Amino acid sequence: MATGDGRVQVGIVMGSDSDWETMEATAERLESFEITYEVQVMSAHRSPKTVMQYAQSARRRGLSVIIAGAGVAAHLAGVVAAHTTIPVIGVPVPSGSLQGLDALLATVQMPPGVPVATVAIGGARNAGVLAAQIMALEDSALAARLKEQRSKMAANVAEKSKKVERSTR
Amino acid sequence: MATGDGRVQVGIVMGSDSDWETMEATAERLESFEITYEVQVMSAHRSPKTVMQYAQSARRRGLSVIIAGAGVAAHLAGVVAAHTTIPVIGVPVPSGSLQGLDALLATVQMPPGVPVATVAIGGARNAGVLAAQIMALEDSALAARLKEQRSKMAANVAEKSKKVERSTR
Amino acid sequence: MATGDGRVQVGIVMGSDSDWETMEATAERLESFEITYEVQVMSAHRSPKTVMQYAQSARRRGLSVIIAGAGVAAHLAGVVAAHTTIPVIGVPVPSGSLQGLDALLATVQMPPGVPVATVAIGGARNAGVLAAQIMALEDSALAARLKEQRSKMAANVAEKSKKVERSTR
Amino acid sequence: MATGDGRVQVGIVMGSDSDWETMEATAERLESFEITYEVQVMSAHRSPKTVMQYAQSARRRGLSVIIAGAGVAAHLAGVVAAHTTIPVIGVPVPSGSLQGLDALLATVQMPPGVPVATVAIGGARNAGVLAAQIMALEDSALAARLKEQRSKMAANVAEKSKKVERSTR
Amino acid sequence: MATGDGRVQVGIVMGSDSDWETMEATAERLESFEITYEVQVMSAHRSPKTVMQYAQSARRRGLSVIIAGAGVAAHLAGVVAAHTTIPVIGVPVPSGSLQGLDALLATVQMPPGVPVATVAIGGARNAGVLAAQIMALEDSALAARLKEQRSKMAANVAEKSKKVERSTR
Amino acid sequence: MATGDGRVQVGIVMGSDSDWETMEATAERLESFEITYEVQVMSAHRSPKTVMQYAQSARRRGLSVIIAGAGVAAHLAGVVAAHTTIPVIGVPVPSGSLQGLDALLATVQMPPGVPVATVAIGGARNAGVLAAQIMALEDSALAARLKEQRSKMAANVAEKSKKVERSTR
Amino acid sequence: MATGDGRVQVGIVMGSDSDWETMEATAERLESFEITYEVQVMSAHRSPKTVMQYAQSARRRGLSVIIAGAGVAAHLAGVVAAHTTIPVIGVPVPSGSLQGLDALLATVQMPPGVPVATVAIGGARNAGVLAAQIMALEDSALAARLKEQRSKMAANVAEKSKKVERSTR
Amino acid sequence: MATGDGRVQVGIVMGSDSDWETMEATAERLESFEITYEVQVMSAHRSPKTVMQYAQSARRRGLSVIIAGAGVAAHLAGVVAAHTTIPVIGVPVPSGSLQGLDALLATVQMPPGVPVATVAIGGARNAGVLAAQIMALEDSALAARLKEQRSKMAANVAEKSKKVERSTR
């Protein structure tokens, strides 16, 4: 499953175009891993047929992972998961009065048989990383990129540490 | 919209047969109002097509109201509502670690355009009453029965009061 | 129950004039469905007699639905519901420190016998849609408008999708 | 305002006879202070007129305090408070899935102008003590009894301490 | 217990001078009822002896009620209540990350024997009203003022209603 | 990545042997998919070196997925994820006073760069399904088994429906 | 600060003798470290003077740490901390309807200047360990015992792992 | 353990340089007590080896206390505590949608054997005070400084009180 074989690898869907503000981080992360993706708005409640058709055709179209971001009673990831057996990653989008707690519970508390791999409230970037981790199982180049990113992260933390490091000894 | 015209007036659906323990109270209440109903188990995640078909055919089949009970990430009422424009009443079923708070939020926090008329956690009986109130708008006999029930309720409270009433004067 | 017969069909009540900011969306939605309505401020705690009289006379005055919006210990919808048997829709208005969670619980957790059809925190627009769905049971023109609105919603989602759609394939 | 003048001093009301299990502690406490009281079941939603009449006549009947216990969307204390200006003490009764958190918020989060003096979830005993503290402002005998009770409490704590006291020195 | 007898009737205490922003509403309300009061900052944790002495001397100094406002782990009202038997009203002040939910729980969840009459998060105005209601038990002039205020409130709601009232009939 | 090639495909780890009661469902599910697995207890806090070594050697040992179950301040999944780049699935185990809400938040709210694919509180069975979905991306036999399981699930729901199905028409 | 010098090193206090069920684990842990302790019941609200005197004399009496366990509006640890500058460890005891969440917030959310070192809800055993860690700073024998305990813990986890360890390879 | 002996006494670590905004208050407080400290950024998830090495070498390097601040799924304090037996103080940093509630639970709900002394959400200043209280057990000069600070605090409260003090008598 090498990246760059011409197919779209990851589908990013979200319940509203306003969720793009959050979900853009997923796209950025996928690009950094050279993973191909597509972006679409579709609503579990307002355009349920689009959601169903998208999910049902996902495996056939060659998608490896679907990442679904939604807020409030966030049913999108769950409904997508109901119509496909490829991994579905859910991003609870913080919006409305309860700041994403409702979205988190509605996304993660799935019943037996139909899981949604849920990341943090607003954790769009990690949805991209998780998709990469899943796809790297059969893509050693991607696995290497993930490992490299981890090293960079550690270096980055060390770098940031210098901004605040001090000792009063 | 007189009751007793041979059609089923209310559809009661639930995500699992274990929800029947909660939802039976809906059926009892409807019977007390002589409202016809049918009961079925269907899952937004495990049998999504059944849900879609049920909701899509509801108006055509003459249903006036659908009452949907579900627990945890309770998507059932919302998914039903996405596929019909007849009123959908949602009953958050208390189950799992969060005791129904997740079900309440996943049922009630619907996005603009697709409402679910949500009752209390475990409020199955009230779902039946609400359905009756909706149908009574055009059924004066039912309206009379509702009024009568209210009088009985008040009398019943007074009756129960006698069990604890006392005065130390 | 055709719209436009000269009577007010829906009563919108709220606990404070500051709730109008939220509840205006209900009025807008009803207008889009050509449903007649009236708006009034009344408080379960500060003007309880007004609330009682309003609710008690509702059916007689020909109202089909009362929509009640209130914040914090939001008793308004429940108290209205206690004095009428027409359907009462409750809108928990987000206000105060708890951002509407208190209003949600105080509105939805009604005891057996007296339901409030609760929508999302701040879900004023959906209160209007739900009222339309209830009234459309006997008004085929309204039912058609609801169906049309749903189609528009789906089209609208597709339209919005174009703003963010992209594919890196 | 001496106790024992023949009138009932405190009204204990509750939404259901099942609340008596909790509210009995209020009665016991009042008896220990020789405060006269009466007990009645009345429901803000099921017998709202009884509630209104009870609250409206309270001052005229000579009641000094009303103590209202209710569960879930606990409107009782608030509705009582809306119809009287004597102090109303609210006891959130733990019941239902949310264990009294809903009752607490519905009781305490009252809007400006109509306060409810709220005690702990299930704090029926303290409702009795608070009523005594209020009435003791003009009843020096009662004030003395309260003081005495406090001394006993401290002694009681010291007594209980002996059960677990130990030192490994 | 007529107002205006030269003594301070209500003590308003708060944990920090920044709480004054919230608690000023208590003072305003008391003034509207012509109830005399005093204001002081004292902290259950930073100046516990002041708190103890204040509470212990309260009855002797003729105070009828102490109103205590505090935020976060709001112990002030409870600690005051531990050292006096006059009624203590607690105002959970919204501050810090949890927006007053911590203050509410720390104020209201008092153990048996030592009640705090808790009002809403940020409910400083109602603390003043509640104090007035308590003191009005023996002050018929104050009772009349409370009744009058209630009438004004109802009128005020009616007045505010006019700002939003409309009917599309 | 065909199943049955002699290596262990999934590592199931948990913070305490008492978590096995919950996590056993993961093992059962994996067995139903003929996925090989191993089970071990290791604690992020009590045996951190074991956790680190396990996670660091996971990819080298050929594991495709690690499933980590833990309760209360559930750090296990996060700490495992910090030491590997293969997908880590987190199961919040319900235990202690907060019933798993703490475990959910501690598992899912991971910072950018190190995701944990979180399932429902107590969602051990779904962790097994999710692992299967991830591994099925390159294993068409497993993909077929997943599809088959979904069909069975739908049939199972229909079967269960018969237990409660009724119609009063 | 060697252990065994004849003085009591740690004071364990709790709000009620019923808290002993939880707090006994603290005592057991201290004994395992050969730390001397004493146990007493005292209440921030029911015997506040005892609390004040105990805390004020703690340093003089040679106590190194006070461990305070309390439930609901758990003020005990905070009030102890207000009267001493030796470290105070707070144990939120799970009791009442909110299962210790109220106790946690009331214990941990202390204002600037007066910290309480808070452990988990019901975390009595860890309170003992934390006390030992604090005292081990100047007691190398105790430090060695702590280290040894950690090794045992890791061994214990490995031991427990054997109960569930399996591999389907 | 006199201060000023040339070694660093307290290690302040945090998960991100953005946490410095919160944690700076810890440093300020330590300086006011003339306690030496060092500051470093390290992440339980992004640079876990740094964390492990830091914690493991802490006692050897002469640190008396480690203060760890982190947000969201705040594992830092717990992971540090897993690798050392010196006291670890955890500061839940308020960040993200849940405002620090997740950080609080992830920090405080530690399993038996590995405590974290947790302070309030954002309670960085108190972390410094708590460290000082711990170190003052064997440093009488520091103990005196703590006592003096308490006196100042009480004076400061009295000072602030003057800003709002008034009496309408």
Give the ipTM of the model, two decimals please. 0.96
Rounded-to-integer distance, Cα F130 and Cα A108, Å = 13
Contacts of A110 in chain F (CB under 8 A): 119-120, 123, 126
- Across the interface, of H100, H166, H168, the residue whose CB is closest to E97 is H100
Residues of F within 8 A of H82 (CB-CB) are 44-46, 48
Q: Are A27 and A56 in contact (CB under 8 A)?
A: no
Six-digit token string for C138: 């006997």
Residue C119 has pLDDT above 60, yes or no: yes
Token pair, residue D5, equals: 């003048």
Q: How much is the pLDDT for H6?
A: 79
User: Residue E11 CA to chain centroid, in angstroms?
Assistant: 9
Burial of B80 (0-12, 13-18, 19+ CB in 10 A): buried
d(CA E167, CA E165): 7
Q: How far apart are CA A45 and CA E61, in angstroms?
A: 65
How close is the nearest chain F Cα to the Cα of B148, in Å? 23
| Residue in G94, G121, G157 closest to F41 by CB | G157
Chain centre to alpha carbon of residue B145:
18
D126 in reach of chain E (CB within 8 A): yes
- The span from the CA of H46 to the CA of H73, in Å, is 13
Categorize the per-residue pLDDT at E3 as very low, low, confident or very high, splitting at 50, 70 and 90: very low
Tell me if chain H has a CB within 8 Å of the CB of G141.
Answer: no
Chain pair A-F, CB pairs under 8 angstroms:
125
pLDDT band at residue B120 under the 50/70/90 scheme: very high
Q: What percent of chain A has pLDDT over 70?
A: 97
Q: Which among D152, D138, D89, D85 is positioned nearest to D113, based on CA atoms?
A: D85
Please indicate whether chains G and F are in contact, defined as at least 3 beta carbon pairs under 8 Å: yes
**pLDDT value of residue D1:** 39
Locate D100 and state its tokens.
Answer: 């009294």
pLDDT of residue G6: 79
Report the C-alpha dihedral over residues B3, B4, B10, B16, rounded to 10 degrees.
140
Taking residues F22-30, what's their average pLDDT?
Answer: 98
Chain G residues lying within 8 Å of F46, measured CB to CB = 150, 153-154, 156-157
Count of residues for chain A?
Answer: 169
Cβ count near F156 (within 10 Å): 16
With contact defined as beta carbons under 8 Å apart, do A61 and A92 qualify? Answer: no
- Record: contact G157-F47, CB cut-off 8 A: yes
Confidence of residue B5 (pLDDT cuts 50, 70, 90): low
pTM of the model: 0.96
The answer, yes or no, to whether F and D have at least 3 beta-carbon pairs within 8 Å is no
Identity (one letter) of the amino acid at B68? A
How far apart CA F17 and CA F22 sit, in angstroms, is 10
pLDDT digits (tens, 9 = 90+) for C67-83: 999 999 999 999 999 99
**Which chains form contacts with chain D, at 3 or more CB pairs under 8 Å?**
B, C, E, G
The residues, ordered by sequence, that sit 6+ positions from F155 with a Cβ below 8 Å of its Cβ are: none
What pLDDT score was predicted for residue H169?
72
Per-residue pLDDT, averaged over C119-131, amounts to 98
Q: Is D127 exposed, middle or buried (0-12, 13-18, 19+ CB in 10 A)?
A: buried
Note whether G120 contacts F31, CB cutoff 8 Å. Answer: no
Residue G1's pLDDT is what?
39
Helix (H, G, I), strand (E, B) or coil at B88: strand
CB count, 10 Å around CB of E141?
Answer: 13
D and A adjacent (3 or more CB pairs under 8 angstroms): no
**pLDDT for F20 beyond 50:** yes
D46: which chain C residues are within 8 Å (Cβ-Cβ)? 82, 111, 113-114
Write the CA distances from A79 to A163, B19, F58, G104, integer angstroms. 45, 20, 32, 37
pLDDT at residue F5, as a whole number: 67
E114, closest residue in chain G (CA to CA):
G45
Q: Which of H27, H39, H98 sits opposite A101 (nearest CB)?
A: H98
E40: left (phi over 0), alpha (psi -120 to 50) or beta: beta
Round the average pLDDT of chain C to a whole number and report it.
95
Taking an 8 Å cut-off on Cβ atoms, the answer to whether B85 and C150 are in contact is yes
Closest chain A C-alpha to B79 CA, distance in angstroms:
7
A chain contacts of residue C158, beta-carbon cutoff 8 Å: 41, 47, 50
Is the confidence at residue A36, as pLDDT, over 60?
Answer: yes
Residues 63-102 of F with CB under 8 A from H: 71-73, 75, 78-79, 81-83, 96, 98, 101-102
Task: For chain G, 169 residues long, give each residue's pLDDT as a single digit of tens.
Answer: 344 567 999 999 999 999 999 999 999 999 999 999 999 999 999 999 999 999 999 999 999 999 999 999 999 999 999 999 999 999 999 999 999 999 999 999 999 999 999 999 999 999 999 999 999 999 999 999 999 999 999 999 999 999 999 999 7
- Which residues face H68 on adjacent strands? H13, H90
Q: How far is CA C150 from the centre of its chain?
A: 18
Q: What is the pLDDT of residues D28-65, one digit of tens each?
A: 999 999 999 999 999 999 999 999 999 999 999 999 99
C5 — pLDDT class (breaks 50, 70, 90): low
The answer to whether the Cβ–Cβ distance between A78 and B82 falls below 8 Å is: no
Query: Where does the pLDDT of residue H39 fall: very low under 50, low under 70, confident under 90, or very high at 90 and above?
Result: very high
CA-based nearest residue to G27, from G19, G86, G117: G19
Q: What share of chain C in percent tops pLDDT 90?
A: 94
The reported pLDDT for the residue numbered B2 is 42
**What burial letters (b/e) apply to G68-105, b meaning 16+ CB within 10 Å?**
bbbbbbbbbbbbbbbbbbbbbbbbbbbbbbbbbbbbbb
The answer to whether H156 faces chain E, any CB pair under 8 Å, is yes
In order of A162, G14, G132, H37, H165, the CA distances from H8 in angstroms are: 18, 36, 22, 5, 44
Is residue C1 very low, low, confident or very high in pLDDT (cuts 50, 70, 90)?
very low
Task: Identify the residue whose tokens are 């009362």.
Answer: C66
Other chains touching C, judged by 3 or more CB pairs under 8 Å: A, B, D, E
Distance to chain G for F6, nearest Cα, Å: 6
Question: Which residues in chain F have their CB less than 8 angstroms from residue A121's CB?
Answer: 109
Pairing of strands D65-70, E65-70: unpaired
Residue F2: DSSP 8-state:
-
- Determine the pLDDT at residue G5: 67
List the end-to-end C-alpha distance of chain G, in Å, as a whole number.
54
| Mutation for testing the H interface, residue in E13, E16, E40, E79 having most H CBs under 10 Å | E40
